[in-house]
Chain A
Amino acid sequence: MRGTEVIITDRGAIRLEGGPVAKPHPVEVMIARLLDRVGLVPQQKSGPAVTVYIAEELLFCKQFSLPVKTAGIKQAIGYQLEMLLPFPAGVCFSSYVTERRNKETVVTLYAVPEEVIAPHLWELTESGQSLAGLFPLGQRYLSRGQDKKKWALLLPGVMATLLTFANGRLRRRVLCPSLPTIGEAMELSGCETVYLPQASEESGFADADTLLAGEPLGKSFNLLPASYRRPDYFKFLIAGLAMLNVLLLLLLLGMKEYRFHATSNRVEAEIVSLRPAMKKFSALVGKESKSRKEIARLEEIGKNPNLLVLLANLTDKLPPSAYLDQFRMEQKEAAILYLDGYADDMGEISAGLQGLGEVRLKSTSRRNNKNYFQMEINLP
């Protein structure tokens, strides 16, 4: 993503040749071209990207603690910058990283006078290249293979610099008056692995050039002021997409809400218009149910047996010799006729009354030379 890399040393700018140069993403290129065409960015800022690294010996670095929360750290550092820097704060490029440790905030501050760097940056921008970042050289050695380990990097120079990294972050920076041996470096850094550029096998150091083979991951301490920075098209793209998504979401919600209200209003209006008819329907259903119950109740009462016909039939069918002491008819679930009396011939009377219904002779007795009977007839 950063493109060409340039290292600025006390001897001038050194362009890295043959190193892994990340190409710009096609989308980024496309957006850059599009912005160029509509004239939203100056021509010179959309040229090939270059990442600039500054030799550690040119940088002023200070690590200190502040008893403040991270929220107010920017203001606190702003107040102390003049006191901390050995050169005027207004004419330098600076960057810092904070880290919470217990109840204090550890600040690592990098700064470089503008006069040291500005000519190189001017030269690069004049040649049509866009600046992707301005980092301390130590950040160039951060690669994917080392980001979660604790390790040290010894950078030689007028003043050798020993950098200790852990979890991809700079933990400690020590300036050494002379180049330390591997043992001294391990003791100073507390790491088992210490990298040194162009280290020989006999020295005991690991070769730091192997770290340059991977894509650079270090993005901390970007000293490049905003006026020099290449526009971050991905940020624009992501922001645009986020806005578009929010707008689409609002649009969808609006459409859904409109459809819901339209349907709801239509349903409600129709319900209101049908309500009088529905009330009438409910009343009629109640009336129907009540009528059915009442009709069923009245029909359960039943009807009377035709006693006139019964008495006439009984008169016809009883033999002339028969005499009834009592005629009793009871109607409960069915009509039952009880006859008490006497007759000369019981067989004749039973046969004669069969036509009236189911005849049962309950008892017979003979008294005073007469056959007394009690008979039960289930009327149809």
Chain B
Amino acid sequence: MEFVQRFDRRYLLGGIAALLLLLNLGRLGLDYLDSRQAELTDRMAMLTQYREAVQRLPELEDRVVLLSRRQQRLESFLFQGESEEKIASAMQIMLQTEVSNAGLEPEFIQPVRAGEGGDRKEHGEIAIKIRMSGALNDLGVFLHSRYAGKQFFRIESLTIKPFKPGELKISMDVRGYYKIGREAEKAI
């Protein structure tokens, strides 16, 4: 206390204020420098990522080309069309033709769609119920034509019952897969 009393109070307070100001300015300056350095470090990390990515670019390009080819090959088994309604109709016509060509008597071929309208998804599936009658050999012809066809129908169930001598009642549930695209007109 005696030491403090030796100084003029005004100078003492002024000195303390100046010291605090200096410390605060120093702290603010250091914070500013730190934040700038951190920002630069982030940018340098980003640059390193960019360099690594660019280095891997040719390899990625090759991989994407291969994957695209594979995807195109798999998608070639799908129906393609403008809308789900048109695709369902096309599926129905195709099955009707194949059933008739095989010598079977179609009773009904009915697509079962989840709902009319709704979200226009790029990819989808349509279940189709088929009821027909005919000989076992005609069924074999139909199955052969189905397996040989380009477009894929997944056979989910097949029921065969005798109806008349030499004639069978055949129920079949199939599921067709499609992709809605611009090349619809060409595909269907």
Task: Give 23 CB contacts A-B under 8 Å.
Answer: A69-B10, A98-B8, A99-B8, A100-B10, A169-B6, A260-B37, A260-B40, A271-B43, A271-B50, A277-B50, A280-B57, A281-B56, A284-B61, A291-B68, A301-B177, A304-B153, A304-B155, A308-B143, A308-B144, A308-B147, A325-B161, A326-B159, A328-B158
Contact across chains for B140 and A308 when beta carbons are under 8 A apart: yes
Chain B: minimal CB distance from A269 (Å): 10
Chain B: minimal CB distance from A221 (Å): 16
The interface residues of chain B lying within 8 Å CB-to-CB of A98 are: 8
Interface size class of B (residues with CB under 8 A): 35 or more
Which of these, B2, B51, B155, contacts A148 with CB under 8 Å?
A: B2
Residue of B nearest to A297 (CB): B123
Decide yes or no whether A213 CB sits under 8 A from chain B: no
| Given contacts A264-B40, A288-B67, A307-B155, A277 and B54 within 8 Å (CB-CB) | yes
Contact across chains for A326 and B160 when beta carbons are under 8 A apart: yes
Which B residues between 133 and 188 are near A, CB-CB below 8 angstroms?
136, 139-140, 143-144, 147, 152-162, 177
Decide yes or no whether A285 CB sits under 8 A from chain B: yes
The interface residues of chain A lying within 8 Å CB-to-CB of B56 are: 281
The interface residues of chain A lying within 8 Å CB-to-CB of B177 are: 298, 301
Chain B: minimal CB distance from A192 (Å): 17
Q: Which 3 A-B pairs have the closest CB atoms?
A: A291-B67, A327-B160, A298-B74
Per-residue CB contact flags for chain A residues 297-335 toward chain B (1 = under 8 Å, else 0) read 111011011111001000000000000111111111000
Per-residue CB contact flags for chain A residues 245-271 toward chain B (1 = under 8 Å, else 0) read 000000000001000100110011011
Residue of A nearest to B171 (CB): A328
Decide yes or no whether B120 CB sits under 8 A from chain A: no
Chain B: minimal CB distance from A330 (Å): 5
Contact across chains for A264 and B159 when beta carbons are under 8 A apart: no
Number of interface residues of A (CB under 8 A): 52
Per-residue CB contact flags for chain B residues 14-51 toward chain A (1 = under 8 Å, else 0) read 00000000000000000001001100100110110011
The interface residues of chain A lying within 8 Å CB-to-CB of B75 are: 294, 298
Decide yes or no whether A168 CB sits under 8 A from chain B: yes
CA distance A280 to B57 in the complex (A): 8
Residue of A nearest to B72 (CB): A291
Which of these, A284, A292, A328, A331, contacts B60 with CB under 8 Å?
A: A284
The interface residues of chain B lying within 8 Å CB-to-CB of A14 are: none
Contact across chains for B140 and A311 when beta carbons are under 8 A apart: yes
Contact across chains for B47 and A302 when beta carbons are under 8 A apart: no
Residue of B nearest to A330 (CB): B157
Which of these, B60, B157, B158, B161, contacts A288 with CB under 8 Å?
A: B60
Which of these, A271, A295, A298, A330, contacts B67 with CB under 8 Å?
A: A295
Decide yes or no whether A70 CB sits under 8 A from chain B: yes
Contact across chains for A270 and B47 when beta carbons are under 8 A apart: yes
Known: A264-B40, A291-B67, A302-B154. 18 other contacts (CB 8 A): A100-B8, A256-B33, A264-B43, A267-B43, A267-B44, A267-B47, A271-B50, A281-B54, A281-B57, A281-B60, A295-B67, A298-B75, A298-B78, A298-B177, A311-B136, A329-B158, A331-B155, A331-B157
The interface residues of chain A lying within 8 Å CB-to-CB of B140 are: 308, 311
